[in-house]
Amino acid sequence: MTDLIKIKAFAFDVDGVFTDGGVLAIGNGDLLRTFNAKDSFAIRTAIINGFPVAIITGGCSESIASRFRTLNVPDADIYQLSKNKLPDLQHFCERHHFQLSEVMFCGDDVPDVPSIMEAGIGVCPKDACIEAIEAADIVSDKCGGHQFVRDIVERTLRAQGMWKFDPLQPWGFNYGDEITLSALKTGRNAE
């Protein structure tokens, strides 16, 4: 059994992890992706409970950065155009003063394999490429974009007694300025 208790931070690829791998190209060259709201809730819950989160992706678009900013992932922890992801994972660890052994990395394809292998726990969705599946410590029974992130984050936080969410906590308390400003405009939960 993999020791989820040792995990203090999470790092994720995007395409095939938060998404099913599909992208929609629009006229300005940006690629649109669909994210599962339950995966997003898991990221918010992890961050609220003190777990730093890194996004390490070969993709590059303002829509990626914007999506994760709304989940309160700092820009410094969003690594785009990452071809060799392991140095970015190491940088994230150094920035937050963690060892690789304390970080869970979630990926689904060949560029993710070195990070899957070097992280404390390497995880992939069940529809990952064979190289990722063979390298992973945990293979989720969920596919990318279909609550894979929720599955692994919730499992980890529950193992540590940290799967907690206070519905009375104002949204603006732990979320970025974009969410806080939106809440202030609507007058909802923005104390």
Determine the pLDDT at residue 181.
56
Q: How much is the mean pLDDT over the chain?
A: 87
Determine the pLDDT at residue 31.
75
Q: What is the mean pLDDT of residues 88-93?
A: 97
- Distance from the Cα of residue 138 to its chain's centroid: 16
Question: Is the pLDDT at 177 greater than 60, yes or no?
Answer: no
Please give the Cα distance from 9 to 172 (Å, whole number): 22
Which CA distances in Å does 41 have to 93, 136, 149? 23, 24, 10
pLDDT in tens, 113-150: 999 999 999 999 999 999 999 999 999 999 999 999 99
Which is more confidently placed, 165 or 175?
165
Helix (H) or strand (E) holding 172: none
Per the DSSP assignment, residues forming a β-bridge with 55 are 12, 78
Helix (H) or strand (E) holding 31: strand 31-32
The architecture that CATH gives domain 4-186 is 3-Layer(aba) Sandwich (3.40)
Question: Is the pLDDT at 176 greater than 60, yes or no?
Answer: no
Determine the pLDDT at residue 60.
86
Determine the pLDDT at residue 152.
97
Q: What is the mean pLDDT of residues 98-111?
A: 96
Determine the pLDDT at residue 113.
97
Determine the pLDDT at residue 35.
84
Where does the pLDDT of residue 30 fall: very low under 50, low under 70, confident under 90, or very high at 90 and above? confident
Where does the pLDDT of residue 61 fall: very low under 50, low under 70, confident under 90, or very high at 90 and above? confident
Helix axes 37-48, 148-159, angle to 10 degrees: 30
Please give the Cα distance from 147 to 137 (Å, whole number): 18
Please give the Cα distance from 95 to 99 (Å, whole number): 11
Which is more confidently placed, 25 or 92?
92
Determine the pLDDT at residue 191.
45
**Strand, coil or helix: what is 184?**
helix
Where does the pLDDT of residue 166 fall: very low under 50, low under 70, confident under 90, or very high at 90 and above? confident
* Residue linked to tokens 């394809």: 109
**Sequence-ordered strand ranges (E) for 50-164:** 53-56, 78-79, 103-106, 121-124, 138-139
Question: Is the pLDDT at 103 greater than 70, yes or no?
Answer: yes
- Distance from the Cα of residue 119 to its chain's centroid: 14
